[in-house]
Structure 1
Amino acid sequence: MTRVYALALGVLTAFGGFVDIGDLVAGSLIGARFGLSLAWVMVVAIVGICLYAEMSGRIAAVSHRPVFDLVRERLGPRAALANLSASFLITLLTLAAEIGGAALALQLVTGVSHLLFVPVIMLTAWLVIWRLKFSIMENVFALGGLGLLAFAVALWVLRPDWGELAGQALHPSLPEQEGLPTYFYYAIALFGGAMTPYEVFFFSSGGVEERWSRKDLLTSRMNVFVGFPLGGMLSLSIAACAAVVFQPASVQVDSLSQVVLPTVVGLGQAGFAFVILGIFAATFGATLEAALSCGYTVAQYFGWQWGKFVAPVKAARFHTVVLVSLLIAGMGILTTVDPITVTEYSLVFSAIALPLTYLPVLVVANDAQFMGDKVNGRISNLFGSVYLVLLLVVALAAIPLMIATKAGE
């Protein structure tokens, strides 16, 4: 069991990247409109996030310092400030979406307006971050998020035409009613959601929280190569369920209640119970990730004491940033803005910030001053460079495609 719990950080981080509120809605929407013709994007994203998460975990294990702590030292305060500004704003927007998503999950269970749950979620998240040990936090919400496996089970029970689904995934084609700009707009949203900037900052900071060292390099890699593919598999299951249930009827998915419907069709009330547990655990876990990441990046940039591995009184400024971030994000949702709308925009804006996030990771992973003999090898640098070019293309295309398609309408 110890080995299983050692993977909790990777699983929790992957849930934040692949099956948080943004990916739940986007995955179902894409499955309903495009079937599995965008499955190739998820494969590309899984490889990319595994590549850079492995670098981030290795940096934490070898240097005993998180990625962002080294960015300022390696790139200088101005370049690091640009990175901080972009990543912090995107993470704050993501935090608002996750708070709204957790509130929507509770609304599905109780029928009470999600707005009434927002203050409760903000307060609970703050108390968890303030009082609960990091190891307990990651284990509880990583295990709870596994309730989302209900989508994979429901897909099997629904007995789809596996040949047709495989054909959509292996031979992607554009549905007649969809345009190419819309197709690529959702491709960027899916890619941006899977490689959300805060993932690498949270993962490397989590490695320091767990006191990783060189002897934990295998643990770090196991977290990467188990957690993120698992998250990607769940995301594909969500899209496949929507393709089976909604696409034949040309139903548009625009609410969380529709997202969970395939599990109810396949598994009944038991499926609904498991998937709601999974959604709440994943979205609340992502709330914790995003809130902590806000604190991590700001504290590490300014050189403040940070983290849950020290007493809160010794990291007061770090906890203050976390608290203020929760308040700002929660108040944004309390304006009655639709959390799903916030979710959709957070995915696209995440794509814009990707180059600023991942370039410093590649630079630090090649610095022998910090990494010693554990610098990147040729293959890591080759793929890392290819992905940087891809990230730049995605960032440049995101806003024009959003405007051209009216955010995918």
Structure 2
Amino acid sequence: MNETELRAAIDREMPGVQADLERLVRIPGIAFDGFDHSHVERSAEAVAELLRGAGLPDVKIVRAGGQPAVIGRKPAPPGAPTVLLYAHHDVQPPGDLGQWRSEPFEPVERNGRLYARGAADDKAGVMAHVAALRALGDALPVGVVVFVEGEEEYGSESLDTLLREYRDELASDVIVIADSANWDIGQPAFTTGLRGIVNAFVEVRTLDHAVHSGMFGGAVPDALTTLSRLLATLHNEHGDVAVDGLVRGFAAPLDYPEDRFREEAGVLDGVELIGTGRLVERLWVKPSISVLGIDAPPTAEAPNALVPAAKAKLSVRIAPGDNWKSAYEALTAHLERHAPWGARVTVTLEQGGEPCVIDTSGPAYEVARAAFAAAWDGTAPIDMGIGGSIPFIATFQEMFPDAEVLVTGVEDPDSRAHGPNESLHLGEFRRVCLAEALLLANLGRSAARR
């Protein structure tokens, strides 16, 4: 199929693709503990049915001790490459329902955007693959393996086992991971670097039991004050991370205007940004440490007593080129070394994931750049970093070292993935679907010419 035919095919398929996306986001498939995992099962079954309907003859639901994933396959014609298309069907919990303008699992279209949990991250990624397959139909010129994971938002705990168990079935020449973002509406991008992650708990203990704040306050350090002082050592006066031993890199010469960033992040007027250096460096190639939560008595229930122990959850994003195990060791050493007033400090790992750098010099990237530029009517894609983490990309790189990895996505700066009022820009979604269809078609033509 040529470009004109593919554009017409995508236009023909988009109403059905959006309707199926809306059906998919109505399933609250949350893999976190404490949620009804039968919905994750329903979500996997719905994805499997969509892949069968898109023309894949070999579709199955698989698992390796965790939540269900879906693998769909169609063999390559002789001499053609095989392309692995990745997405995930599980979603984040909705969070505070009071902050949503509409029900999180009831899709609502407003001003050209579709609002719902998972509408962007990452059920639109699933449907971009389906849209491309539907548009190409029997004219699909390459082999395809669609791999849709079921626990990405919960840490992909069983993914490594799945990849190793089904390695031969997943083997491919090109891997397209549809779980990232574009630079802006109207500006496509490939993600070429991602930070890694270390999530850990730090507990501070100063007493073996709570004691009267009047009788003992002034001489005995309470655990909350002690924890606060310890957390304050993680950054210097400029807001840069002060933990020794973490890698810091250099970002591409891409301008990220501060006013745009403040608006996209929702920073309140008068609040200063932290850190030094260009914004893209702070966000993509330097470490960051955030306090995600603290275990302590709620204010409404707190007695007049000194708290004996307090616990915080830390999220450390590590730069490309770093290693999560060494970063965890550096964090632990810093916290133990800076324990205020001799307090007992215990650091416990929750999870770690590697950062990655993606090589964009291969022939598949040349084909992809042309496909994306065509889908965005002549606007060439840029290479960008991402401050977030997709640790399994490093696993794909390790297991399939000869495959080219392309990281794409459907999100834009206002998608608000993981937050209330997550949404998908429907105009950009159409371009994503067209770009993937063009990519598959062009990869087939490129192989035929060789």
Coarse TM-score class (shorter-chain normalised): under 0.3
Q: Which TM-score applies when normalising by structure 1?
A: 0.22
Q: Which has the higher helix share?
A: 1
Q: Which has the higher strand share?
A: 2
Q: Bigger relative contact order, structure 1 or 2, given CA contacts below 8 A and separation 6+?
A: 1
Q: Which TM-score applies when normalising by structure 2?
A: 0.21
Bigger Rg, which one:
2
